[in-house]
Chain A
């Protein structure tokens, strides 16, 4: 009774990553946190990539999505998968920082993180269940403004790119995202720094998916990612070294 629905779910989840080529596989199939989209596509244009929130990616691996590599914005997620034998040992390959983005016109006049606590500022953050949302709450707690800022939250998005998009469109007054998410929308937003004392440890980790058949492409991609070429591309896209 369980095998049938699970197989169907796996099929449905496989569709977006498998693409529609149907020919010989070229390069690795990579599931990656949406904040990695720019860097990963630049690093390996021939790989097949599927970007989503880290928890969604973990769920896809749990459901048997045919991927070679998974890269998440939270090493704990990969440690959990590794503990269940679904992925190999996770390797931390980059770090990130939180920033506040506001629309270029800055309608709410946000100059510091503290301004997010002012009544009436429409704030967008990630859902508490996804890393970008959990990190944002952690930073706000460290600054002692979690209460008033979370009261200003008008939407909880399921990944960082969606938060940035809502701000870039000018529909929200401010959003808390990774520094790297501000880059693709740089023309439409201003960046307000989050003080160092409030910064959570944001590490990106990647691991090879151990579901057979394990293809060498996954390991090759990881080597490239953690090697000098990967470092350079990641730095160019605003990530810090591990």
Chain B
């Protein structure tokens, strides 16, 4: 009976793996050889994607890291609610995110009047792409960052404070290095999610080559005109996503090795 169950579970695993990996492998197999497809559309899309992702990552790292630290280290009323609210975009369909961004920050949106008073028209600009990426990627990063900071031993932080370190110094010199592995893992996952952002971008930012057309949007536009280009961009995105995924899996491992050694030495001194 136990053998049967193991066999069935193994078959389920094999079926799932095959199903999940076949489309990935199929794109890689069908990527046309050579580099003739590497035309202006793909290059422009790569440029737009890298630029907007860079800015978006800076935004969610700078906002998300202190925010996650606060949530992870303080106990306050409504904390669980705050954590849940931060994750709302994760469960939203991207198309809903796009429409939401449009009716919030669009010209005719809730903040449209205020924004145009500031001379800001966001839809169809690179800023719109950045906002769409931040919207979908930031919650992913913050969730991982909260977990990373929660894993930092509170007593170490307390000890640093007893030794006279101010809150900012504790954050920068103690908490940040100790959580670095988890933060990097979260960042890699959020980066990958942002690179692949499609639904919110095409609704909120539209699609214009060289301006707002990111790699996933270029795939969509090229899909029926030039399947080879679409496949080639797909192959590039797969390579990039795999790189980020493996980064996310490996980096905490490296730092855990280091943190394990520090905790052993700490145990040694306290003994």
**Which residues of A does B touch, CB under 8 Å?**
1, 4-5, 8, 53, 55-56, 58-59, 103, 107, 122, 124, 127, 129, 153-158, 166, 169-172
Could you tell me the distance between the alpha carbons of A127 and B222 in the complex, rounded to whole angstroms? Answer: 10
Q: Is the CB of A127 within 8 A of B221?
A: yes
* B225 and A166 contact, CB distance less than 8 A: no
Chain A residue at minimal CB-CB distance from B103: A169
Most chain A C-beta atoms within 10 Å of own C-beta, residue among B106, B206, B220: B206
Inter-chain contact A171/B22, CB cutoff 8 Å? no
Residues of B within 8 A of A154 (CB): 123-125, 206, 208, 211
- Whole-angstrom distance between the Cβ of B115 and the nearest chain A Cβ: 12
The interface residues of chain A, by DSSP majority, are classed as mixed
- B240 lies within 8 A of chain A by Cβ: no
Contact B102 A169 (CB under 8 A): yes
Interface size on B, residues (CB 8 A): 27
* A8 and B124 within 8 A (CB): no
10 A-B pairs (CB sep. < 8 Å) = A5-B22, A107-B107, A127-B221, A155-B205, A155-B206, A157-B207, A166-B206, A171-B107, A171-B108, A171-B123
From A58, A59, A122, give the contact of B124 (CB < 8 A): A122
Would you give the shortest CB distance from B26 to chain A, in whole angstroms?
4
A155 near B225 with CB under 8 A, answer no
A155 to B212 alpha-carbon distance, docked (Å): 8
Contact with A along B108-120 (1 / 0, CB 8 A): 1000000000000
Question: In whole Å, how far is B39's beta carbon from the nearest beta carbon of chain A?
Answer: 14
A56 contacts B206, C-beta separation under 8 Å: no
Chain B, Cβ-Cβ closest to A173: B107
